[in-house]
Amino acid sequence: MTRQRDPLKPVYAIWGEDRAKVERALRRLSRRVVDDGGMPGETLSAAEVTPSDVVAACESLSFGGVRLVIVFDAGTWRSGDLAPLLAYLASPNPGTCLALVFEGPPPQKLAAAVAAAGDVLQFGPDPKARPRERTRWFVEYLVAEVRRCGGTIPAALAREVVARVGEDAAALSSEAEKLVLHAGSEPISRETVDAVLVPHPEAALWDLADALAAGDPGRVYDVLQDFATGDHPREPIAIVLALARHYRGVAVAQALGAEASPAAVGKLADLSPFPAEKAIAHARALPEGAGERAVARVARLELDLRASAFARLGRTRDDGQRFVLELAARDLMALAAR
């Protein structure tokens, strides 16, 4: 017996950090339209067209079945420009299927309009998830990706892989394929992980940023100690530059408010999608204005590393710089508590 498919909806909003599933969803949607007698989709970029342009495309007559219109980077539109699209979604053209693709969550009004007329599809962790919940999502995602590739991995080992690679769905999907290929018919072991994985250079820095945003001194000082004495030490100035870049993104996200999206924050703060997502998550978790205050504190930290008397304390130059870094970490955690 053939399973009856649900009717094709006139609009979909598709978003999330799991870009592989976003792309698979778009491929399925394109195949579905073609199977129903439509033509391959028309692809647009929100950076090049306005919501009014999209409405005009959706209202055009189609002579070959359902018309599919796919709009990438829909999060780049300003909320004040969405009125024509919101009006269209109140009574969409039944002969057109519109797919709006976002990197981050759609604006609230647009998401509500899409949900009323069609469907909102999210692939990835909840942007408002706590750090522990977010990590759990990526661990479960890696286990599922390994299974999809034909292998198995214990949850505890998957957590270690996430810690090494970083919370990046695309990178984890790629590593899952390599791990399964290396393990062959055997379950993935720690030896396989050690042989295949190269630790992501930014993973520990994201651990530090998460701990600072959570105001967790135990985690903060554990990471700083590992930077000083662990297997992959980091120079204090390298940590400062990474924090400066991150908090600049946080400040931008807080300034944008409800209009903050990975594309918008990435463009203004010169960040790639994953760091932009992190910046937005921390912007929402921290008190208003904390991003700007953190930028100022990290700038002072850079100056202290170069010129402060505290930086010359201890038996070695490194001792003093680590002390200055720990003082700054204390202040950054205090910003999270205000």
CATH number belonging to domain 11-122: 3.40.50.300
Q: Percentage of the chain with pLDDT > 90? A: 48
User: What is the per-residue pLDDT for 306?
Assistant: 73
Q: Which fold is adopted by the domain 131-196? A: Helicase, Ruva Protein; domain 3 (1.10.8)
What residues does each domain of the chain span? 11-122, 131-196, 203-337
Q: How many CA atoms lie within 13 A of 138 on its CB side?
A: 25
Tokens at 175, concatenated = 């590593």
User: What is the per-residue pLDDT for 2?
Assistant: 46
Write the class of the CATH domain 203-337.
mainly alpha
Instruction: Please tell me the pTM assigned to this model.
Output: 0.61
Confidence class for position 233, pLDDT limits 50, 70, 90: confident
CB under 8 Å to 106, separation ≥6 — which residues? Answer: 13, 15, 74, 75, 100, 114, 120
CA distance linking residue 254 with residue 264, whole number of Å: 12
pLDDT digits (tens, 9 = 90+) for 258-289: 888 888 898 899 887 778 888 998 999 899 99
pLDDT digits (tens, 9 = 90+) for 66-91: 889 999 999 999 888 999 999 999 99
